[in-house]
Structure 1
Amino acid sequence: MSSRALFVVVCGAPLASRLSDGVRVVREWGWTPYVIPTDAAMPWLVEQDLGDVPVIVGNRKPHEPRRTPAADAVVVVPATFHTLNAWATGNAYSYPLTTLCAALGAGTPTVAVPYVSRELTGHPAWASSLAVLGRAGVRVLDPGSGSVASVEPLQPGTGSHVVVGFRWEWVLKQLELRE
């Protein structure tokens, strides 16, 4: 069992259907995963076999102990337009967003994989949110190519190809570069 805790924040988009693959790869690379889904991600997780991986939902109640160790790293796969913009502006109104904002504030190594349409990336908030996160040290990875040099919006009709071609190893390699 690894002592490296990896928080895997999952948003509601088709790339969430690959979470069980991610859990397997994360473990193979020596990480202990903790899944933190947004409400919109929950339907994507229903049929997936995550084994004994803790799925952390909702805020803990007063006087409850922490449910996770401190994160050694955080990944957001997929990161939706909504979550990425809320995170960049510090809106910590849900447990996944609180987790992301705390990681940013603590300087925890973080990788985000946006899964966002061309129309949404044309919104003015998109570029500024990517810039804020980039300046804060978040590595933003293109889901179609694994590149951190640029992130291309999803073109209509290409989502299923992106989901099939995505490699969790791309995310973990970016974390290794931060160690």
Structure 2
Amino acid sequence: MTNRTLYIVVCGAPLASRAGDGIRAAREQGWDAYIIPTDAALPWLESQDLNGLTVVSGNRRPSDPQRIPRADAVVAAPLTFNTLNAWANGNANTYPLTTLCAALGSRTPTVAVPFAKHDLAGHPAWHASLAVLRYAGVRIIDPHDGSASAVQPIKSGSGDEVSRGFRWNWVLRQLHEDIPG
């Protein structure tokens, strides 16, 4: 069986500290995984064992060849308040946002794990953006328990605890519902 390609877009929040675990879990399930970080996520990745994975950041020059194969699926985990709202509004002004917007436009199966504190998640744009992304077919899962029915905000100061309890199989299970085999 040929491996499938998975892009993991990582934003700057405590769950980014588990990106290496996501790579290992994806590889165990037959994915070739690539990390595409926001600038804010880079410090979270520095101390992780990414199993020799090349982190893909920044736009390529027009004369450069494609750096990675076309995605069969995309994951955004963690997805911060800023990136979620920019994505839902179609802002493609960074490489991670271009990747996410292109996934919507091409109908590539996508799973997102929103990660925002109560004060940000209480902003009306948060709820509107979640609705837009769900309407577009993005599977949204809760970082606390993997639920696809509702997303709970992160209690201030509990981001590390939520991250420790997070299971990458919640994300991969959602992808398998969209892409069997």
TM-score bin (small chain): over 0.9
- TM-score w.r.t. the length of structure 2 is 0.96
On the 8 A contact 1:6/1:34 being kept in 2, the answer is yes
1:159 aligns to 2:159 (yes or no): yes
Structure 2 unaligned regions, length at least 5: none
1:9 aligns to 2:5 (yes or no): no
Match of 1:119 in 2: 119
Taking only the aligned residue pairs, the percentage that are identical comes to 61
Deviation, structure 1 residue 157 = 3.0
Alignment RMSD, CA only? 1.0
- The letter of the residue matching 1:52 is G
Q: CA 1:122–1:19 in structure 2 vs 1: closer, same or farther (change >3 Å)?
A: same
On the 8 A contact 1:5/1:70 being kept in 2, the answer is yes
Give a deviation string over 1:103-150, Cα, whole Å, max 9, x none.
Answer: 000000000001100100111101110000000000010000100000
1:21 aligns to 2:29 (yes or no): no
Distance 1:126 1:49 in 2: 32
1:45 aligns to 2:26 (yes or no): no
Give a deviation string over 1:42-61, Cα, whole Å, max 9, x none.
Answer: 00011111122221010000
Between stretches 136-145 and 2-11, larger displacement belongs to: 2-11
Aligned-partner SS, 1:32: strand
Distance 1:109 1:153 in 2: 24
Match of 1:138 in 2: 138
Distance 1:125 1:2 in 2: 40
Aligned-partner SS, 1:144: coil
On the 8 A contact 1:2/1:31 being kept in 2, the answer is no
1:81 aligns to 2:42 (yes or no): no
Structure 1 unaligned regions, length at least 5: none
Match of 2:94 in 1: 94
Distance 1:23 1:165 in 2: 17
Deviation, structure 1 residue 2 = 4.6
Q: CA 1:57–1:136 in structure 2 vs 1: closer, same or farther (change >3 Å)?
A: same
Deviation, structure 1 residue 170 = 0.2
Give a deviation string over 1:75-114, Cα, whole Å, max 9, x none.
Answer: 0110000000000000000000000000000000000001
On the 8 A contact 1:114/1:143 being kept in 2, the answer is yes
Distance 1:160 1:42 in 2: 17
- The letter of the residue matching 1:150 is A
Q: Aligned pair count?
A: 179
Deviation, structure 1 residue 158 = 2.2
